[in-house]
Structure 1
Amino acid sequence: MTNFASTSLPQNRVPDVTVEFWLIKLMAVTMGETAADYLAVNLGWGLTATSVLMSAVLVIALGFQFAQKRYVPSFYWTAVVLISVVGTLVTHNLVDNFGVALETTAIGFTLALAATFAVWYAVEKTLSIHSIFTARREAFYWLAILFTFALGTAVGDLVAEVFALGYLTTGILFGAIIAAIAAAYYAFKIDAILAFWLAYIFTRPLGASFGDLLSQPVEYGGLGFGTIITSFLFLLVIVVLVAYLTVTQAPRTTGLSGEQQG
């Protein structure tokens, strides 16, 4: 008799944390910054129209992502790129359209993210990214990601612009913070979930800083490549990496062992 037990296990809907994961994530957050600027400023759509349009596209992309019931690289990373753009726009709207200070925005999104994690854990008894196999857990996951992008945008702009450290210095600073988190994880064995989410938050201002460094005019502290070229280059890298993952990665199932991974 055929044993169907292995095929009936639920499949994790998000990717394993690999080198490719962090590379695409970094490309996505960088593109999120430059693409948001390109649509709102260079194309002249404005923050409000751009935010409405991109939020609608994000909702559609998340609809396709939730419908998969497993990790499919093309759908997952499309949602990440779009949520990166929308998270950037949320922060820019609060600051530019509503006059909310970056300090206040950063504190507000920190509290929102902490509340998301608190409710997520209270409901699911885990924050593990290795066991996202229900719609409810996936909803918490994407909400947390949205807040990490919005928070990272606020913190990056705060350090680079308000604290006047500039894009390059800000990028180096957040790169050093991520390196410290990695060292704490590998050398001192800090909690894997904590290390993951801290690194996830800080890759946003890291990517945004280098995105601004490449795209902004020289007189504003950038290298002057512009948002079009910068966005296209990072999008090209993302497409190549996602295509590679689509070809090479097989679906993964998640049972109790997935919970134990943290």
Structure 2
Amino acid sequence: MNNSTVRALSKVPEVTLIFWVIKIAATTLGETGGDSVTMSMNLGYLVGTAIFAVIFLAAVAAQINAKGFHPLLYWVTIIATTTVGTTLADFADRSLGIGYAGGSSLLFILLIASLFIWHRSLGTVSVDTVSSPKAEMFYWVTVMFSQTLGTALGDWTATTAGLGYGGGAVVFSALLALVAVAYYRTKISRTALFWAAFILTRPLGAVVGDFLDKPLNAGGLALSRYSASAALFAFMLTCILFFKQRAAEKAH
């Protein structure tokens, strides 16, 4: 591969079916992993957020300093965003007392603001163009806000809206299916559809993660958070190792 080809490649993966499979597993892992630290270890939401924030910043720094696309590093960074998103959303919703609706509204505003500033600064929010440090910073801030928003939305749907974990999973799966139909049957912006799907996978992962580890009397399966997290990580690692992922080609 010559230098001009290397420069034309993004530092995020090509969006394929396996990308979405791993993304949903990562968001589910973020829920079980975050709860493992804050609840099972009884460290609380503030301490859990501080721990995962450090991991998130370190992972993003490593990702930005990397010379190219590295699948394992990329997905470790995604896991870091989804775990800090879980604990941060829980801290805002429960410890600060603003509730799921308030937390979702605030995070939605922050997410839209991040996308708006990114677009105004670089002219695009397409993931195919994430190949410069500035674009990467916008990308990871936007991802972190989307993961945090997804946690709040998942909790709001399952508890406040009264749909339960199964009902929430059905709702977000149906919405993702609609995005997929729009991708193949309409001319809606592919970038807009990508971010819609990216955001929706997080609440899906949140309700699935809660379904796995919440008590039986709360509608969950009462599985060990540690075991569920280990199984999800093993599944992700298997997918990463056995299904080769390429860097997205930068749009010209």
**Structure 2 length as normaliser, TM-score?**
0.95
Q: Which residue of 1 aligns with 2:63?
A: 65
Match of 1:112 among 98, 110, 113: 110
Match of 2:101 among 91, 99, 103: 103
Alignment of 1:1-20 (within 5 A): 6-7=4-5, 9-20=7-18
Displacement after TM superposition at 1:252 (Å): 6.1
**Cα pair 2:11 2:247 within 8 Å, conserved:** no
Displacement after TM superposition at 1:194 (Å): 0.7
Alignment of 1:61-210 (within 5 A): 61-210=59-208
Q: Which amino acid aligns with 1:180?
A: L
Determine the C-alpha separation between the residues in 2 that align with 1:70 and 1:148: 24
Displacement after TM superposition at 1:226 (Å): 2.4
Change (3 A) 1:251 1:108: closer
Change (3 A) 1:163 1:253: closer
Displacement after TM superposition at 1:9 (Å): 2.7
Change (3 A) 1:5 1:243: closer
- Cα shift readout 1:88-143 (whole Å, capped 9, x = no counterpart): 11111111211112111111111111111111111101111111111000111101
- Structure 1 unaligned spans of 5+: none
Change (3 A) 1:104 1:251: closer
Q: Which amino acid aligns with 1:30?
A: T
Change (3 A) 1:253 1:70: farther
Name the stretch that deviates more: 15-24 or 62-71. Answer: 62-71
**Structure 1 length as normaliser, TM-score?**
0.92
- Structure 2 unaligned spans of 5+: none
Determine the C-alpha separation between the residues in 2 that align with 1:157 and 1:95: 9
Determine the C-alpha separation between the residues in 1 that align with 2:246 and 2:114: 31
Determine the C-alpha separation between the residues in 1 that align with 2:143 and 2:2: 34
1:241 pairs with 2:239: yes
SS at match of 2:39: helix
- Cα shift readout 1:123-179 (whole Å, capped 9, x = no counterpart): 101111111111000111101100111111111111100111100010011100000
The alignment covers a number of residue pairs equal to 252
SS at match of 1:164: coil
**Cα pair 1:217 1:223 within 8 Å, conserved:** yes
Q: Which residue of 1 aligns with 2:211?
A: 213
Change (3 A) 1:107 1:236: same
Change (3 A) 1:35 1:252: closer
Greater Rg, structure 1 or structure 2?
A: 1
Runs of at least 4 residues off by over 6 Å: none
Determine the C-alpha separation between the residues in 1 that align with 2:248 and 2:205: 29
SS at match of 1:12: strand
SS at match of 1:130: helix
**Cα pair 1:216 1:226 within 8 Å, conserved:** no
**Cα pair 2:14 2:245 within 8 Å, conserved:** no
**Cα pair 1:66 1:135 within 8 Å, conserved:** yes
Q: Which amino acid aligns with 2:135?
A: R
Q: Which residue of 2 aligns with 1:29?
A: 27
**Cα pair 2:179 2:196 within 8 Å, conserved:** yes
SS at match of 2:69: coil
Determine the C-alpha separation between the residues in 2 that align with 1:48 and 1:39: 11
